[in-house]
Every structure is written in structure tokens, then in C-alpha cells.
């Protein structure tokens, strides 16, 4: 693109000031490697402006590049403007009923003025929406929006009738302009021999969350293997859509529509196969040549995993770890089928319960696919899929080779090599790095020779060695606060508190925030809250944790979930709170029976006394607030909130809750009053706890964007820092985008008002919760802004997997 012509076009299109245009040109994107929507293939700026409709405040687009490397430039006019986002509606028709979602190349010149990005698909009278991340500035990157990760707004009519795709960049607190580019917008995964059949017919019921998560986990496993598949709703299954397919996966389908069942019968009769998981209707099992077994919940702890029976099938691992608490088994209907894996019990002994049953029509795994032992799951899935689709082995080998250097923010092994050369690696790290390169070369040679299994093994060795070598080069920062939240009141699964804290300390961490009390239950002998049901047999979890912390010199900051009573709360206590009118209602009047109303004086007293009791009875290092807020802007509108606010206002309200939801002076008073209810508890706990235990530190887990969160959820954590109620604050910056994380931390250092800021890193919330490199990169961002520490969520089996890598350098003692 001619530079002067491009700038002139932008000026004519939107009247941008010269200051906004004084930036480098966007380079042309890579050529498309996937199908592009026909309606997106425009060749003139006039066609681009007709295709892209800017929302109010956003500017028209221009076209740049040429041929296969054409792209659309989007001006991010955020400096000195008032619109909450820059947003464009791409007016094209797309049938995504068979696709896993859509993908595009995206370029961001500077992510600092952007809080987050969203993508939407309009269909019928509603939208499917999802957020996406930008991992680096000044570079093109592929963005994938999977249907399984979207949520619905209003009433979309289905993925087959998409008429608009919207791209939005939401404003952050940085008053700056930026610029974006978009190219190669097209579907993903509509082709291929495999269909993942999501149980949309059951998605609105109690199993909806499991339906979504199970489809996402199975899809991610296939993605990681490099095996293409289509994602289809069970309500959209047709005979035509089954043509040319070889395998249909039902990741969690507790019910299957009759029409779909009949079509699957035809599919198997014609030579296709099914792969089913956990609970599936008996007619589906019969189609595969199986009969239902039994539902089993192990009494002494979860199963440990799947143990192969005999030789199993080609490529099947001998053992795959999976911590399953319940299973629904299936047995072969006749001699043509067999059990190829059984469950190993928590005692380490193999049971006779079928874990994997194979038959002429397919295979059944008697639980959903869980993300633990991910490499084992991938190998198992490859063996199962490879029976029917031999090309899957070569696809998986190529994907593993491509992934050898792909972790954290590194795009490939070549990019990682440049970074390692820059480090001038020496000693053990150099030897490990040399081994990684040698393994990568062996993988290429094996693939060229058609030895796919050997290529996969060598590529995984290369990736492990490369990651280890890189982690060895990361420097430590002594004297910082290194903490983990621990959501489980019993510590790390499978370990005592002593073992869990010893592991944490041994890997260089010096603080833990154990979740030991909720709004209606305490995991220790409390006289304020009801103790948990197993106190007599399992003991005082706070004391056990604290004893271990003292042994290994780890700080213990007890974490309380405020207002929410939690699933462990006794049902009688919940009923008593409901009967006393102490629980929340939303704006529509719906009762939230496990959420205590934050404005109720008795609830405030309960929260304060529960936390101060700990300070009085236990020599803990700190008290940590969580859920110290309203659930959202639609809570709480109970009768008590109305009466108490009207008393505060000095007059009655005619239209409740409409009067406090409409813009104006009353709403402003309402928002102030809501904040005051939360702040009262924070202030009172801080004052009283410090009085009974001088030196105790008060902290809080808070939402990441204070300016909006103070209104939406009543959480005014900047004020709490300014007033000294908090000794440190932990914003929950749970994003796997380093750029977004950096933006969060930059803003939060200002809002913390001089108090220590220990940003929350959301390891367990990431797409890959076992990515030590991204964890180390985000720790480095905290150090870049001199926060003095960080807090990681969550201390679980994912954490156990990444801690050794951190200890190689980043958290070394």
C-alpha cells in the first residue's frame, strides 16, 4: 500500500488527526491457509467500507495490501473520545452449522488502550458472543473463536443463519489511539471425517454446563492432535451432514433426540462408528453393540485412571490418569466386543469396572474426558481415532513437531531459537537446549520415514527439553511475595497439608491463601459459622494448614468467601436464612437462596465476626476477602434492600426496582449506598482484626477493572487501599493473554494507591492450565511493574505440574 495514499484515505474516511496517524505501516498478513468467506474477499476500499459497518463513534475502514495478502485497516480512535468501544459489523452471510467456529488473522498496533476484545455472530434475534485475546503487539496472529466457547445473548436462531460478524475492541483506562488489521476471515473445521455432536437439546437443563465443557475438552484434544473435525448440534444432525464422515463423537449426551438416534443407526449400519462418553441412552449403546452397565461412585476417593487390558488397541497407552468420581459403564453385547481398559481404584489396585469398551459400532468411555494427564489423553484419543482414520497418525505427528517450540508467547521453534541465542545459554541449560534441537531433528526424520509414532515421541521430547531449557534461563527475584490461592479446604488433592505446604515451599513459594470458610460454613471449630459436617473425622483444617505453614516458613492468609454460603453449607442453615429474609433477590424477584444479602445488618455482623474470630483464635498471617461484592448489577433487590435504601434516601420509591436502575440522581445515590454496604464490612474487619491481633495483614481478591466494578458490583477497592483497610490487594487478572495482563497490571498499580499489589494470575482458568512458560512470563510482567509479588490461582494438580518449571529459575530460592 502506498503510504501517502493510505493516510489520505484514512483522513477522508474519518477525519483522523495527524497525531493519530503518526505510526508505522501495518505489514501485509500471511496468505490464507484456510477457506475465506466469499463475502469477505473484497478488493477495493469502497467494497470494504460497504462490508464493514462502524458502530457509533467508530470510523470507516480502508483496504490495504493486494491479492491474497489484502487486509482491512481499522482505526482505533479511543483518545479523547467517549464511545466505550471501537466496533465494526461485518455484513456477510455464513452457514456455520457444521463449523467449529470461525477464524481470522488479527493485528493490533498497541493493546494498551484496549481492555479486551470481543467477537460476535448475529443470527435471528440474538447474538453468539465470545472474547478473544491478543498475545503480542505489532504482529499478525491467528484468532480462533470456537462455538463451544461462546454464550448466547437474546434469541439467536442458530449457527446456520449468521448474517453479521462483529469485532469489538473495548476501551481501557489508557487514553490512546491505536490501529488494527483483520484478514482471512473464514470458517474452521467444517470439513473432516469426524463430527463432535454437542447435546444442545440438553444444554438448557441442569446438565448444560457439563455439555458445553465436555464438548470443549474433546474438541481441544482433537485440536491438539491436529485432527480436523466438525462441531454440530444434535438438533441439526441430518443425513446429508453425515455423508462422508467416519466417526461421530458424543462427548456428553445424556439424551439424544429420536431423529438423531435414527440417523446414527443408519450411520453405523453404513460403516460409521460412534465414540460415546459417560451417560448415553441405551438405544445409542445398542447401535454400537453394547448393553448398559451400572453407575458407580467409588466410596474411598476418585478412580486414578484407565489401565489397559492386555495389548488393547494399536497405540493405546498402558495407563492414562483420570481422577473420575463417578462412572457409567457399558459392556459388549456379544463376543465381537471387548473391554480394552478398566478403572484403577484410589488404592492403586485395578478394578473390573470397564473404563473403555470397544465393539463393532464404536467405543464407550465410562466418564467424560477430563483434562488431567493431557498427553496421555491425547495418545489415547489418537489410538481410538487412528483405528478408523489412519491419516490421523501423520496429522498428529506434524502437529507435535509444529508444537515443539510453541508455548507461552513463542509461535514456533524458530522464534524460540532466536530468543535462546539471545540469552547466550550456558551450562546445563545449554546441554538441555542442544538435546531439544537434536530431538526435533529426529522427529522430522521419523516423519519423513513414515514412522509417525516415533516422530510423535521425539517431538514431545523436543518440546519438553526446549521448555525446560528456557525455564532454566529465567532469573529469580528474591524478597518478593509468592502466593497461591488454594480453593480446596483440604489442600492439594492426594496430599496432607504438611505435604502440600512442603511442596510449595520447596519450589520457592512463601505464602498460601487457603479457602477455609464461606458465608455458611467453616472448616474448623467455629462458634460463629456452622462447622463442616466431617469436622470430627477430618479435623481442624485451619490448624493443620497453619501448623504446616509454620514448619516450612510459609505465610498463611485465610481466605473467606463472603456472602455466598457455598455447596458445603448445611441445608438447614440455608433454609433458616431464606426463612429469615436474609438472602438475595435479583431484579426480577428471583430468590438466590445461597447468597446472603450484603445490606442486611445481621449478615454484615456474621461476616465480620466470622473473620475476626479467626484473628482472635489463630496466629494467622492474614485475612483475605473474596466475593466481597454483589454478584452483579442485577442484585440485590430484596424487600430488605428496598426498605433500608428508602430509609437512607429519606423517602419511598414508587417504582421498585426501576427507580434505582434508571439513570439519574436516585441511581447515583443507590450505587453509593451499595458500595457503602460492602465497604462497611471491609473497614470493620480491618479495624477489629488488627485490634485483636496487631500486625495481621488484611487483603482482598478483587475484580480487575475498578472504575466499572465499583458501580456494577459495589467493589470500591481503590478506596479500600487509600483508606488503609487493605494491606495488599490481589486483582483477579485471569487472562492467558500477556498483553491484556500487562494492561491490567499497569492500570492497577495506579489504583492500588501505594499499597502492595500482588496481581492474580489465572493459571487454572487458562485454555492450557499446565503452561509453565506463560505463568513465568506473567510473573515477569509483575516484576516489570515492580509489584513486589504475585498470587496464582489455583493450588491444584495443574499447579503441581508447573511448579517444578518455576523452580528451575523464576522462583528458585
pLDDT at res. 165: 98
What letter does residue 61 receive in the DSSP assignment?
A: P
More confident residue, 372 or 250: 250
Give the sheet arrangement for strand 273-277, strand by strand: 230-233, 194-198, 247-250, 273-277, 362-365, 350-359, 338-344, 305-308, 319-321
Residue 80: φ, ψ to 5°? 70, 15
How much of the chain exceeds pLDDT 90, in percent?
Answer: 84
345-354: per-residue pLDDT in tens? 999 999 999 9
Between CA 783 and CA 789, with CA 786 as vertex, the angle to 5 degrees is 65
Nearest to 79 by CA among 118, 116, 113: 113
Residue 191, burial from CB neighbour count under 10 angstroms (0-12, 13-18, 19+): middle
295-331: per-residue pLDDT in tens? 999 988 899 999 999 999 999 999 999 999 999 999 9
Nearest to 440 by CA among 467, 409, 394, 405: 405
Residue 672: φ, ψ to 5°? -60, -45
Cis peptide before 636 (omega within 30 of 0): yes
23-67: per-residue pLDDT in tens? 568 999 998 889 999 999 999 999 999 999 999 999 999 999 988
Show Cβ contacts of residue 162 under 8 Å, excluding neighbours closer than 6 positions: 93, 94, 95, 96, 121, 122, 123
639-671: per-residue pLDDT in tens? 999 999 999 999 999 999 999 999 999 999 999
pLDDT at res. 24: 62
Asked if pLDDT for residue 681 goes beyond 50, the answer is yes
Asked if pLDDT for residue 12 goes beyond 60, the answer is no
586-625: per-residue pLDDT in tens? 999 999 999 999 999 999 999 999 999 999 999 999 999 9
Residue 726 CA to residue 717 CA, distance in Å, equals: 9
211-240: per-residue pLDDT in tens? 989 998 999 999 999 998 999 989 889 999
Show Cβ contacts of residue 611 under 8 Å, excluding neighbours closer than 6 positions: 517, 560, 623, 685, 689
Amino acid at each position: 500500500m502506498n503510504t501517502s495514499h493510505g493516510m489520505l484515505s484514512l483522513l477522508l474516511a474519518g477525519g483522523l488527526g495527524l497525531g493519530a496517524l503518526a505510526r508505522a505501516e501495518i505489514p501485509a498478513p500471511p496468505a490464507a491457509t484456510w477457506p475465506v468467506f466469499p463475502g469477505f474477499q473484497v478488493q477495493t476500499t469502497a467494497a470494504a467500507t460497504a462490508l464493514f459497518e462502524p458502530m457509533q463513534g467508530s470510523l470507516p475502514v480502508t483496504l490495504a495490501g493486494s491479492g491474497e495478502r489484502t487486509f482491512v485497516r481499522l482505526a482505533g480512535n479511543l483518545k479523547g473520545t467517549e464511545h466505550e468501544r471501537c466496533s465494526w459489523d461485518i455484513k456477510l452471510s455464513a452457514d456455520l452449522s457444521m463449523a467449529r467456529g470461525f477464524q481470522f488473522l488479527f493485528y493490533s498496533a498497541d493493546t494498551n488502550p484496549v481492555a479486551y476484545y470481543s467477537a460476535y455472530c448475529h443470527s435471528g434475534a440474538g447474538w453468539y458472543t465470545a472474547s478473544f485475546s491478543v498475545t503480542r503487539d505489532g504482529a499478525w496472529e491467528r484468532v480462533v473463536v470456537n462455538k463451544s466457547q461462546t454464550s448466547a445473548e437474546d434469541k439467536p436462531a442458530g449457527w446456520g443463519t449468521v448474517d453479521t460478524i462483529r469485532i469489538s475492541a473495548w476501551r481501557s483506562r489508557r487514553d490512546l489511539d491505536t490501529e488494527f488489521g483483520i484478514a482471512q476471515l473464514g470458517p474452521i473445521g467444517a470439513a473432516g471425517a469426524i463430527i463432535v455432536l454437542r447435546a444442545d437439546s440438553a444444554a438448557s437443563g441442569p446438565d448444560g454446563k457439563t455439555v458445553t465443557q465436555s464438548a470443549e475438552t474433546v474438541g481441544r484434544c482433537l485440536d491438539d492432535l491436529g485432527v480436523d473435525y466438525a462441531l454440530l448440534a444434535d438438533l441439526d444432525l441430518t443425513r446429508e451432514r453425515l455423508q462422508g464422515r467416519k466417526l461421530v463423537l458424543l462427548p456428553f449426551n445424556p439424551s439424544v433426540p429420536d431423529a438423531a438416534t435414527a440417523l446414527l443407526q443408519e450411520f453405523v449400519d453404513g460403516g460409521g462408528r460412534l465414540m460415546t462418553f459417560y451417560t448415553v441412552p441405551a438405544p445409542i449403546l445398542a447401535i454400537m453393540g453394547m448393553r448398559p452397565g451400572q453407575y458407580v461412585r467409588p466410596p474411598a476417593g476418585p478412580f486414578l485412571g484407565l489401565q489397559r487390558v492386555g495389548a488393547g488397541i494399536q497405540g493405546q497407552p498402558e495407563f492414562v490418569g483420570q481422577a473420575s468420581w463417578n462412572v457409567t459403564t457399558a459392556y459388549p453385547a456379544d463376543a465381537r466386543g471387548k473391554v480394552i481398559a478398566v478403572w484403577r481404584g484410589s488404592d492403586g489396585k485395578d478394578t473390573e469396572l470397564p473404563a473403555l469398551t470397544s465393539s463393532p459400532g464404536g467405543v464407550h468411555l465410562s466418564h467424560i474426558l477430563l483434562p488431567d494427564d493431557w498427553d496421555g489423553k491425547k495418545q489415547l484419543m489418537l489410538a481410538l481415532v487412528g483405528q478408523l482414520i489412519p491419516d490421523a497418525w501423520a496429522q498428529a505427528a506434524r502437529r507435535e513437531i509444529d508444537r515443539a517450540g510453541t508455548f507461552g508467547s513463542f509461535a514456533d521453534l524458530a522464534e524460540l531459537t532466536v530468543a535462546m541465542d539471545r540469552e547466550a545459554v550456558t551450562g546445563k541449560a545449554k546441554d538441555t537446549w542442544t538435546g531439544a534441537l537434536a530431538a526435533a531433528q529426529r522427529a522430522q526424520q521419523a516423519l519423513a520415514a513414515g514412522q509417525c509414532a516415533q516422530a510423535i515421541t521425539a517431538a514431545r521430547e523436543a518440546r519438553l527439553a526446549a521448555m525446560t531449557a528456557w525455564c532454566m534461563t529465567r532469573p529469580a527475584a528474591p524478597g518478593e511475595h509468592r502466593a497461591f490461592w488454594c480453593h480446596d479446604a483440604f489442600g492439594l488433592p492426594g496430599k496432607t497439608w504438611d505435604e502440600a505446604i512442603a511442596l510449595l515451599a520447596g519450589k520457592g513459594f512463601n505464602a498460601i491463601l487457603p479457602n477455609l470458610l464461606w458465608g455458611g460454613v467453616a472448616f474448623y471449630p467455629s462458634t460463629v459459622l456452622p462447622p463442616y459436617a466431617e469436622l470430627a473425622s477430618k479435623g481442624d483444617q485451619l490448624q493443620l494448614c497453619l501448623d504446616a505453614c509454620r514448619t516450612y516458613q510459609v505465610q498463611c492468609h485465610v481466605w473467606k468467601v463472603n456472602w455466598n454460603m457455598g455447596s458445603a453449607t448445611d441445608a438447614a442453615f440455608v433454609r433458616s436464612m431464606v426463612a429469615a429474609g436474609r438472602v438475595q433477590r435479583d431484579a426480577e424477584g428471583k430468590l438466590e437462596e445461597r447468597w446472603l444479602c450484603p445490606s442486611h445488618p445481621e449478615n454484615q455482623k456474621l461476616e465480620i465476626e466470622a473473620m475476626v474470630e479467626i484473628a482472635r483464635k489463630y496466629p494467622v498471617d492474614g485475612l483475605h476477602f473474596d466475593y466481597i461484592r454483589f454478584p452483579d448489577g442485577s442484585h440485590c433487590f430484596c424487600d430488605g434492600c428496598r426498605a433500608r435504601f428508602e430509609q437512607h434516601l429519606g423517602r419511598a420509591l414508587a417504582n421498585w426496582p426501576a427507580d434505582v436502575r434508571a439513570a439519574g440522581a436516585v441511581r447515583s445515590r443507590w450505587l453509593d449506598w451499595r458500595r457503602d454496604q460492602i465497604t462497611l464490612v471491609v473497614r470493620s474487619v480491618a479495624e477489629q482484626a488488627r485490634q485483636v491481633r496487631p500486625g495481621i495483614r488484611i487483603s482482598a481478591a478483587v475484580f480487575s477493572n475498578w472504575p466499572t466494578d465499583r458501580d456494577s458490583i459495589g467493589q470500591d477497592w481503590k478506596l479500600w487501599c487509600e483508606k488503609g483497610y487493605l494491606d495488599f490487594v490481589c486483582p483477579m487478572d485471569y487472562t492467558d493473554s500477556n498483553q491484556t495482563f500487562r494492561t491490567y497490571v499497569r492500570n492497577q498499580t495506579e489504583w492500588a494507591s501505594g499499597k502492595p499489589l500482588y496481581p492474580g494470575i489465572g493459571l487454572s482458568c487458562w485454555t492450557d492450565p499446565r503452561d509453565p512458560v506463560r505463568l513465568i512470563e506473567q510473573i515477569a510482567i509483575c516484576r516489570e511493574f515492580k509489584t513486589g509479588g504475585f498470587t496464582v490461582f489455583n493450588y491444584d494438580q495443574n499447579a503441581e505440574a508447573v511448579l517444578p518449571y518455576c523452580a528451575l529459575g523464576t522462583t528458585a530460592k
